[in-house]
Structure 1
Amino acid sequence: MDYSGPLYRALHPYHARQPLSGEGARRYGGRFNPRGCAALYLARDFDTLRHEIARGGSFQPSTIVEYVTRITGLFDARDRAALAHYDMTPEALADPAWQLKMQRGEGVATQDWAEALIAAGHTGALVPSFARGARAGACNIVLWTWGDGTGAHLRVVDDEGRLSR
């Protein structure tokens, strides 16, 4: 699937000057990327981002960035039949124990699934938001490849150069 339009991301203030870096995700791993695999986690709308930042708790200091995007090669994780092709289910995508499993060194099904999608040539995936309080149908886009020569073109909206100061 393809996507064009705005996407939003919350950056830790320490990383605000590198809005196209997936270093944090590479270093620590995430629901849809194992450690060692860079990723950008982007919300399709600001309301979803607000819930993702708070993670069901307090809102932490963040730098909010908007991107103008044109992306091809996304996997649509809302499609049950497409998920089944990769032995994945909506319930497994939503596994609340993924982080605990990763910390214990156990296999994380969503990370294995992401690696299979990467191997199949997908740029990223459109996935449901699992943030507490997010409305039904809220989605995020996770990118594993982006930039020149890829199917994911992102432009940071920073007309005044605020991130470079």
Structure 2
Amino acid sequence: MHYRGLLYRALNPVWAREPLSGEGARRFGGRFNPKGTPALYTALSIMTAIREANQIGTLQPTTLVAYHADLTPIFDATEAQALRDHGLDPEDLAADDWRIRMREDGKAPTQRLAERLIREGYAGMQVRSFAKGATAADLNMVLWTWADGLTFVDDEGRLA
């Protein structure tokens, strides 16, 4: 699929000056990127971005940013058959044990999916949010390649 529109991230203020880096995800790994693979975890709505960034405990200091996106190809993980064609079911994406699997097996199944999609040339993946309080309508866009299709919105140079 082709995605054109706004995307949002709620960043830890430590990373706010580098909203296009993907460095935190590269260092630690995430549900949809193994350690060593940079990724930007973005959301299609502001509220989803805030839910994603504050999943543990009470709301912590957060810097909300927006991007203009024009990205292709994007794998649509909300399509169950497309996901099954890549060896996973929707329930596999929601598994809470991905961190344990990453530690015990080296990579979680969702990280292996990301590696396959990257090899196939996907820039990213649209996937539902699994943050507390999220519904099927809350969507994320996980990006592995974004240099040519993502523009950070900071018209007034506030993070410069």
TM-score w.r.t. the length of structure 1 is 0.92
**Offset at residue 104 of structure 1 (A):** 3.6
Q: In the alignment, what sits opposite 1:163?
A: 159
**Offset at residue 159 of structure 1 (A):** 1.0
Return 5+ residue gaps in structure 2 as ranges: none
Letter of the 2:153 counterpart: V
Q: In the alignment, what sits opposite 1:52?
A: 52
Q: In the alignment, what sits opposite 1:127?
A: 127
**Offset at residue 156 of structure 1 (A):** 1.2
Letter of the 1:107 counterpart: K
Q: Does 1:90 align with 2:86?
A: no
Deviations 1:132-153 (A, max 9, x none): 10133211000001113xxxx1
**Offset at residue 94 of structure 1 (A):** 0.5
| RMSD, matched Cα | 1.2
Which aligned pairs between 1:1-165 and structure 2 lie closer than 5 A? 1-55=1-55, 57-148=57-148, 153-164=149-160
Runs of 4 or more, structure 1, over 4 Å off, are none
**Offset at residue 105 of structure 1 (A):** 4.7
SS at structure 1 position matched to 2:159: helix
**What is the CA–CA distance in structure 1 between the aligned matches of 2:32 and 2:137, rounded to whole Å?**
18
**Contact 2:9 2:50 (8 Å CA) reproduced:** no
SS at structure 2 position matched to 1:162: coil
**Offset at residue 157 of structure 1 (A):** 1.2
> What's the % identity of the aligned pairs?
51
Q: How many pairs align?
A: 160
